[in-house]
Amino acid sequence: MTLTEKKDALVEDLSIIEDPQERFAYIIENARSQPALTAEFKVEAFRIKGCQSQLWLVPRLENGLCYFETDSDAVITKGIAGLLTQLYSGFPPEEIIETPPNFLAEVGITQHLTPNRRNGLSNVWNTIKSFAEHCLNQVQRP
């Protein structure tokens, strides 16, 4: 499955839930099902700046594919960041770079977020994209 196909499937799943409150309940349930990061990763180096909650994103490159884990002290933040990390994990850097998270606006998530949460979400995407760009640059070097 390509990243675009995975994104389209996620959009379809989220679009089925018409009520915004139910959609956020789904996101919260998703957050609760995600494992917590251990204390060694809840450090400044992995913290997403500009988010009103404490939010950490841990990226890694394995066999040419990017993987991401996230955690937050706020369940809605963890859930939304988790949607992104679950979507982008397991794909090559170039696919990640070419697939911005526009789907969150498509399914009506971003318009229900406070400006601070939207800023934090933007910073999650920027961190994911920057990591993918860094990995791509490493792979392309002779």
Q: Range with the lowest mean pLDDT among 24-33, 34-43, 113-122, 123-132?
A: 113-122
Tokens 């994911």 locate to: 128
Task: Give the domain range for residue 105.
Answer: 3-140
Judge whether 51 counts as a catalytic residue.
yes
- Catalytic-role residue among 14, 48, 51, 87: 51
Mean pLDDT of the chain: 93
Q: Give the pLDDT score at 137.
A: 87
| Residue 50 pLDDT class (50, 70, 90 cuts) | confident
What residues does 62 pair with on adjacent strands? 65
Q: Is the predicted pLDDT of residue 140 greater than 70, yes or no? A: no
Q: Give the pLDDT score at 141.
A: 57
> Which pTM value belongs to this model?
0.92
CB 80 within 8 A of CB 55: no
Q: How far apart are CA 22 and CA 9, in angstroms?
A: 18
Total structural domains in the chain?
1
Question: What is the domain-level CATH number for residue 34?
Answer: 3.90.1010.10
